[in-house]
Amino acid sequence: METTYQVTGMTCGHCARSVQTEVGALPGVTEVRIDLAKGAVTVSSAQPLDESAVRTAVDEAGYTLVS
């Protein structure tokens, strides 16, 4: 399963790595791809993810998930 989220505030490689690390630590996540130009985070997972868990992970990284 693949889901793309919009995240605000990411502007550099460090930003992307922070989000990738936090979201990648969620149970069931198999891959996280970041597109800085679009502010997009594409998450591959074995099963559907709870959006609130993704939001919390993005918040922990210091950024905001757009609803």
Cα-atom radius of gyration of the chain, to the nearest Å?
10
User: In the chain, what are the domains?
Assistant: 2-65 (3.30.70.100)
Spell out the long-range contacts of 25-34 with Cβ–Cβ below 8 A and sequence spacing 24 or more.
Answer: 25/57, 26/53, 26/54, 26/57, 34/10
| Whether residue 27 has pLDDT greater than 90 | yes
Rounded CA-CA distance 49/41 in Å is 13
Q: Considering the entire predicted model, what is its pTM? A: 0.92
Question: In this predicted structure, what is the pLDDT of residue 67?
Answer: 72
The answer to whether 19 and 58 have CB atoms below 8 angstroms apart is yes
Say what percent of the chain tops pLDDT 70: 100
